[in-house]
Amino acid sequence: MVQLLPFKTEIEARDSQVTVISFGTPALAHNWIEETRSSFQFLIDRERNAYQAFGLESSLIRSWSPKTWFAYARLMAKGWKWRGILGDSAQLGGDFIIDQQGTIRMAYRSNDPTDRPKPEEIIRVLDEIEA
């Protein structure tokens, strides 16, 4: 969701809101919000009901592939601090757009932790819904 922070105004201009759902603890959520300076709505789903409902996968192999390690190395080279493994590092995420009628208009299930849709693609789908 961090990749969407610079697009928050554009998303809200389309009468939309981003909600981050995590299975972590309130303390981990607080740390993530502080670290990323995210102002998105944040919900905690300890039982992972949303993860199951949206068909999100868990994969230790894909979560810790060389691609993921290289992504973390690039972040650390930019000053990001490694905090160690917190929670279930095998859980994969996703990005979904749900319209006002509850219809899923975009479903993007991440193949690995670095796999997210481009913000421009999310904006394009929101524009289609608005049209």
What pTM was computed for the model?
0.81
The mean of the pLDDT values for the chain is: 88
For residues 50-58, average pLDDT: 94
User: Please, what's the largest Cα pairwise distance for the chain?
Assistant: 44
Fold classified for 2-130: Glutaredoxin (3.40.30)
Q: What are the structural domain ranges in the chain?
A: 2-130
Beta-sheet pairing, 94-98 with 41-44: unpaired
Q: Which two tokens stand for residue 130?
A: 């608005």
pLDDT digit string (tens) for 5-43?
888 899 999 999 999 999 888 988 888 888 888 889 999
Does the pLDDT value for residue 130 go beyond 90? no
Let me know: does 3 contact 119? Beta carbons within 8 Å: yes
